[in-house]
Amino acid sequence: MNPPIIFALSILFLPLVSFIFQIFIGWRIGRSAHWVSLICLGGVLALSLSFFANAFLIEGYPILEESVTWFSTGEFTIAMGFNIDRVAAIMLVVVSLISFLVHVYSTEYLKGDPRYNRYFGYLGLFTFSMNGIVLADNLVMMYVFWELVGLSSYLLIGFWFEKPSAADAGKKAFLTNRVGDIGMFIGIMILFFLFGTVNIEDIAYEVSLGMADGYMSLLTAAGILVFMGAVGKSAQFPLHIWLPDAMEGPTPVSALIHAATMVAAGVYMVVRIFAFLTPTALQFIAVVGAVTALMAAIIAITQNDIKRVLAYSTVSQLGYMIMALGVGAYQAGFFHLTTHAMFKACLFLASGSVIHAMHHALHHKGDHDTDPQDMRNMGGLKSKLPVTYWTMLIATLALSGVPLFSGFLSKDAILAGTLAYYHAHHGWTIFLPIAGFGAAVITAFYMFRLIFMTFHGEPAKPDVHAHVHENPLPMTAPLVVLAFLSIAIVFTLPGLNPIVNHGWFTHLVTTGENYAGLVMEETVEGIHHAHNAAMTISLIVATLGILFATFVYYLKKVDAGKLAKMMNRVGLYNLSFNKFYIDEIYEAVLYKPFFWWCNVFSKIDWDYYDQKFIDGWGWVTMKISEASGYSDYNWLDQKVVDGFGKLTQYFSKELKQTQSGVIQNYVMGGVFGLLIILIIFQSI
Amino acid sequence: MSSHILSWLVFIPIIGALVSIVYQQAAKVKGLDAEVVAGTHKWIAAVATGIQLLFAVWLYTMYDPAGGIQFQEKFSWIPQFNIDYFLGADGLSMPMILLTALLSFIGVVSSWKIKKSPFGYFAMFLLLDTGMMGVFVSLDFFLFYIFWEVMLLPMYFLIGIWGGPQRQYAAIKFFLYTLFGSVFMLLAMLGLYFYADPHTFNLIALIQSASSIDATIWGINVQVLIWVALFIGFAIKVPIVPFHTWLPLAHVEAPTAISVILAGVLLKMGTYGLLRINYPLFPELVYWFATFLAVLGVINIIWGALNAIAQVDLKKMVAYSSVSHMGYVLLGMAALISESPAGAQAGINGALMQMFNHGTITAMLFLLVGVLYDQAHHRYIFYPKDYHDPKLAGQPGFGGLGAKLPIYSAFVAFAFFAGLGLPALSGFISEVMCFIGGFSVFRTLTIIGTLGILLNAIYFLRAYRYVFMGPLNEKYAGLKDMTGREMFTLIPLGILVLLFGVYPAPLLDMIAPTMNALVDLIHSAGSIMGIQ
């Protein structure tokens, strides 16, 4: 085995070592066992960086491509393999960097938790599974790790499983994801029988050779079905419902899994299979992304739980990425994944820092009723949590698409993509840029609402506020690192112009290739033309959003309550606050009828089919045998058989009379008898 | 010894039972202490099944996957009717032999605390073991039938005497259901014997002659009649919906070890019988029957899962999960007619793997339910709505056990996730293979079947949620975590589930040559018919 394979295997398995260690040994050692996890993850980060460095050195070819048979029946073979291209190399760094930082952060955040070691074990299991998705060269292997990240997500959401809400959220996450996974699985089966392989590159190659010509509608179906997996994992409408609930997990988990990496797996998967998605499938993907981006942004406006705002923001941003890929802005979609991972992880960890500080302050006061996550209980925390404030502000600027910060570059590219798409297709596709820009203005608004409500103004609870303290270094250091990585220059190097995205990233990640009918040259050309318009509009909308938030929540020129009431005249506020009632609709339309029917089926199966029909046969048999038993005894035995006996008895009783004991009678009988015999013989 | 290894495998348990009987008589004469006697019976059973397991492992090391039917033993038994004592093992029977030996041993260990008449219990158990093993190694139909029936009687008593509150009803139901099937099987066997030329019960010889039977009864092809009669017999064992209602009751009422055997081994006899007898004997009819089988398979998957979702009793839920999981086997088996060689092989190999994997997974599930029941004396996820105590009716039966019983909850989580087909655990691979196979022939049906991926997750996660998560139910704060003996029964199964989930090659390589040969046999019949 050459070093790259050993490196790749180590990237995959070191986190698993951490998992096994913490589960079987770590808990005996206690808190200090987290060093093992930290060293494992540090190793993974270093090795990922080595692949990343290699991406600059090797032109054109995958850095590592290696595949072995996993199992085979002869004709039917499933392989397992690695395919590290430049996209995968970047993704590896994203995953391992954030995972490492979250490990560091968690040593403080989870301090004192009775299941401390188990937590680090689960984080290891997650990183293992996530890296498996990144490294996978075929769809079955991706599906395998896809489900395993589902498992680790389930375990981590439900980490504090004593809380009923956390226990429910884990279950909901797993099951909702499985809905998407069914589609993904069917899609994989279609691709397997269409091309005889599940290897992603091989499928793309076959499509490029025209092997799918004549099966385009099937390829479209397969693409949309595989994308279903991403709808689940990346929390796209209509399967987005699990992600906000997933915030029941520890906040570092939300940062790692439910903001930066796992939920981006769906986007990553679409990036991997982009080459063989047909234009129809891509259009479907774009619409799903646009609906998600806009809808989730609207919901985020009215949420008061700091993590929920961020959760809906994540859903919305994932919608952006998906929409980008759908409109053919391949590079922009993956770019946004990368930048978003940094600033959203930063935002979540910062919110965790706020919650942690609030929690300690409340704990200090002995207050167990106040919700430490509710922004209405915060305010004025800027002076108390300076590091948290400044890092969170940087990340917010990045998310809002303010120039000089990374989000500006990536969001801008996506919006250019939607504009270009509209230029090419016209008609209803104007919905895509509207959704994009609409979500952008809303994003800027709700993020600054969050900043102002949390950090500015008067403290809502001055007594709590007094006890809030900035968190120690293990928690603030990751924030600083991630805030730094939210600055535009980081991604434009060696270019130093922070508003022009020409740097190492665009050098590494191409504009993408598509063999299924999308003409990439035209798409790229269109995006290029739309660039300036997109930048101008996005600057305007970001400014508008921020200004409006400043008016309402900082300067308080407009009363937020009145505004809400005004919006509610047409039900808008309640619609947003209640998340478009989607959970309620599912409850009424899907869950309740489903369980009701299950109970009906069970009744049919047991109470009717078995107890009545099957046991009915027993009853019939019993009745028949009773009847036959009755007739056997009462008729055949009692009447017929015993009848003979009775007859005999009767005659013997009658004939007994003849036994008189008088000799003359006997002699007379004998004579008579003799006479009769003689007569009979005579007549013969 | 190795030339009669299959006979040893079959009769070691019987030898154990005989030793038990002799010992029991001796103990009576000597008036030994009842505790001591009970202990000795346990050990006799453990040693017998232990030796059987060692023999099975030895068999595995000697087995050559490419070698066709091996370890054959054949001598004339009732020459007047051409009945042979004919044993052999191939890739179809090997996993079943290993599974039977393993689960029998584990069953004995998990029965360690049996209080009621251990002598009778273990003697019956050993007799059952012989019957099961015999079914899987017989290559003579008559012998097969004898073992099939031998197995029935001890099972009747094991459920009827050592079972739960409704044990007698459950036992008679199980017995009558199976006997009903046996009648058809007997008819089919006699039909085969008399119509085949030459008259024989030899299943290998019948491969040559059965498919050339050309006769009708009441205008119906005899081959079809035999196939259907056999199918009814086997369908009851699987159980295929609508012949399944003996299963939830029998599983729930049977003691833990017997549920393990029932679900782990007995259910497989149905699909094993189809693959051993129906498929090779009447390859043309496979084409005729496959669609129907696939429909039944998908019905099993969906109906079993929907019913499992509605259950409030943990054991009943697991029982219905078996109905669902056996549906995958049927779908995979039906896929054998696929025109795509990859699809046909995936389906049939997946079906057999699923038989093995379901055996290990469901055994874990039943053992784990038993662990909880032994301590808590109930196993309600939710108390039923009509529970006699109105305060408890509809309430969760447990709650929050995860904090109290970390090891137990970890084992349950492992088994549940294996049950819902999590990748890296064995059920996933076989389910995927069954689906891929099925998809190559029955597109729509298989797509409906994939709903099972979701449905199976619903009931397992729901059960886990309400038993192990949430605030601790203080009533059960005193429960103790698993004992060493309980872990001893579960760890080997867990290792197999994990091993064959990560690296299925040892299992797959063992079965694939035989199953692929079956594919070839049936496809060549199909090509003669002009289908293939």
- pLDDT tens readout for residues A650-670: 988 888 877 777 888 888 888
Calpha distance A96→A128 (Å, rounded): 10
B363: Cβ contacts below 8 Å, ≥ 6 apart = B103, B106, B260, B263, B264, B493
Joined together, the tokens standing for residue B468 give: 């192990």
Q: List helix spans (H) across B377-483.
A: 401-404, 406-419, 426-441, 443-449, 451-468
Question: Residue A364's pLDDT is what?
Answer: 85
Question: Residue B532's pLDDT is what?
Answer: 53
Task: State the smallest CA–CA distance between residue A452 and chain B in angstroms.
Answer: 36
pLDDT at A143 over 80: yes
Residue pair A275/A515 in contact (Cβ under 8 Å)? The answer is: yes
Count Cβ atoms within 10 A of the Cβ of residue A627 and give its class: 0-12 exposed, 13-18 middle, 19 or more buried: exposed
Give chain A positions within 8 Å (CB) of B242: 609
Q: Which of A316-325, A338-347, A380-389 has the lowest mean pLDDT?
A: A380-389
Nearest to B245 among A147, A196, A609 (CB): A609
**3-class secondary structure, A140:** helix
A474: Cβ contacts below 8 Å, ≥ 6 apart = A104, A105, A107, A108
- pLDDT, tens digit, 9 for 90 and up, residues A10-19: 999 999 999 9
Nearest residue to A259 (alpha-carbon basis) of A155, A345, A131, A346: A345
Give chain A positions within 8 Å (CB) of B469: 158, 161-162, 164, 166-167, 170
- pLDDT, tens digit, 9 for 90 and up, residues A392-447: 999 999 999 888 899 898 998 899 999 999 988 888 999 999 999 999 999 999 99
Task: State the smallest CA–CA distance between residue B461 and chain A in angstroms.
Answer: 6
CA B322 from chain centre, in angstroms, equals 9
Calpha distance A344→A392 (Å, rounded): 9
Joined together, the tokens standing for residue B444 give: 């729509």
Nearest to B309 among A167, A598, A606 (CB): A598
pLDDT at B306 over 70: yes
* Per-residue CA distances from B161 to B118, B121, B207, B248, B396 (Å): 11, 9, 41, 18, 30
CA A635 from chain centre, in angstroms, equals 73
Most distant CA atoms of chain A, gap in Å: 154
Cβ A193–B433 below 8 Å, yes or no? Answer: no
Count of residues for chain B? 532
User: If you write DSSP's letter for every residue of B464-506 in order, what string do you get?
Assistant: HHHHHSSS--GGGTT-----HHHHHHHHHHHHHHHHHHH--HH
For residue A146, the chain B residue with the least C-alpha distance is B423
Mean pLDDT of B360-382: 93
pLDDT interval class at A218 (50, 70, 90): very high
For an interface test with A, the pick among B168, B174, B353, B453 (most A C-beta atoms closer than 10 Å) comes out as B453
Joined together, the tokens standing for residue B267 give: 């259910």
For an interface test with A, the pick among B178, B244, B307 (most A C-beta atoms closer than 10 Å) comes out as B307
- pLDDT, tens digit, 9 for 90 and up, residues A68-117: 999 999 889 999 999 998 899 999 999 999 999 999 999 999 988 889 99
Calpha distance B244→A610 (Å, rounded): 9
- pLDDT, tens digit, 9 for 90 and up, residues A510-521: 888 888 888 888
Joined together, the tokens standing for residue B114 give: 């049996």
Count of C-beta atoms within a 10 Å radius of residue B198 = 9
The residue ranges of DSSP E strands in A279-344, in sequence order, are none
Nearest to B453 among A154, A162, A185 (CB): A185
- pLDDT, tens digit, 9 for 90 and up, residues B253-300: 999 999 999 999 999 999 999 999 999 999 989 999 999 999 999 999
Joined together, the tokens standing for residue B428 give: 């996933």
For an interface test with B, the pick among A69, A71, A163, A194 (most B C-beta atoms closer than 10 Å) comes out as A71
Cβ A71–B242 below 8 Å, yes or no? Answer: no
pLDDT interval class at A459 (50, 70, 90): confident
Cβ A145–B306 below 8 Å, yes or no? Answer: no
Calpha distance B259→B250 (Å, rounded): 8
Task: State the smallest CA–CA distance between residue A446 and chain B in angstroms.
Answer: 33
Portion of chain B with pLDDT greater than 70, in percent:
99
Using a CB cutoff of 8 Å and minimum separation of 24, what contacts does A367-373 make? Answer: A367/A464, A370/A461, A370/A464, A371/A305, A373/A305, A373/A306, A373/A307
Question: Residue A417's pLDDT is what?
Answer: 92
Query: Could you tell me the sign of the dihedral formed by the alpha carbons of A648, A650, A656, A658, in that order?
Result: negative
Cβ B439–A72 below 8 Å, yes or no? Answer: no
Cβ B423–A167 below 8 Å, yes or no? Answer: no
* Per-residue CA distances from A332 to A43, A261, A291, A409, A416 (Å): 30, 17, 18, 9, 9
Calpha distance A575→A582 (Å, rounded): 10
pLDDT at A60 over 80: no
Count Cβ atoms within 10 A of the Cβ of residue A217 and give its class: 0-12 exposed, 13-18 middle, 19 or more buried: exposed
Query: Could you tell me the sign of the dihedral formed by the alpha carbons of B294, B296, B302, B304, in that order?
Result: negative
Calpha distance B282→A275 (Å, rounded): 47
CA A230 from chain centre, in angstroms, equals 8
Q: Quickly count helices (H) and strands (E) in chain A.
A: 30, 2
Question: Residue B62's pLDDT is what?
Answer: 92
A636: Cβ contacts below 8 Å, ≥ 6 apart = none
Give chain B positions within 8 Å (CB) of A76: 341-343, 345-346, 349, 433, 436
Portion of chain A with pLDDT greater than 90, in percent:
53
* Per-residue CA distances from A70 to A26, B6, B118, B147, B438 (Å): 31, 32, 46, 38, 21
Task: State the smallest CA–CA distance between residue B351 and chain A in angstroms.
Answer: 12
Nearest to B453 among A74, A162, A182 (CB): A182
- pLDDT, tens digit, 9 for 90 and up, residues B245-262: 899 999 999 999 999 999
Residue pair A105/A475 in contact (Cβ under 8 Å)? The answer is: yes
Where b means 16+ CB within 10 Å and e means fewer, B432-464 reads bbbbbbbbbbbeebbbebbbbbbbbbbbbbbbb
Question: Residue B1's pLDDT is what?
Answer: 60
CA B528 from chain centre, in angstroms, equals 34
Calpha distance A67→A139 (Å, rounded): 13
Query: Could you tell me the sign of the dihedral formed by the alpha carbons of B421, B425, B430, B435, in that order?
Result: positive
For an interface test with B, the pick among A70, A72, A76 (most B C-beta atoms closer than 10 Å) comes out as A76
ipTM more than 0.90?
yes
Question: Residue B88's pLDDT is what?
Answer: 93
What is the rounded average pLDDT for all residues in chain A?
90
Mean pLDDT of A497-507: 80
* Per-residue CA distances from A549 to A52, A234, A343, A400, A546 (Å): 40, 28, 20, 12, 5
Count of C-beta atoms within a 10 Å radius of residue A438 = 17
B228: Cβ contacts below 8 Å, ≥ 6 apart = none
Hey, which residues does A677 pair with through a beta bridge?
none
- pLDDT, tens digit, 9 for 90 and up, residues A628-655: 888 888 888 888 888 898 899 898 888 8
HSE of B148 in the Cβ direction (CA atoms, 13 Å)?
28
* Per-residue CA distances from B38 to A72, A549, B112 (Å): 48, 80, 10
Nearest to B423 among A77, A148, A179 (CB): A148
**3-class secondary structure, B7:** helix
Calpha distance A350→A545 (Å, rounded): 22
Nearest residue to B104 (alpha-carbon basis) of B408, B492, B460: B492
Cβ B342–A196 below 8 Å, yes or no? Answer: yes
Q: Which of A141-155, A571-585, B238-252, B435-449 has the lowest mean pLDDT?
A: A571-585
Calpha distance A445→A327 (Å, rounded): 26
* Per-residue CA distances from A355 to A160, A376, A468, B419 (Å): 16, 13, 10, 38
pLDDT interval class at B52 (50, 70, 90): very high
Task: State the smallest CA–CA distance between residue A309 and chain B in angstroms.
Answer: 26
Cβ B450–A186 below 8 Å, yes or no? Answer: yes
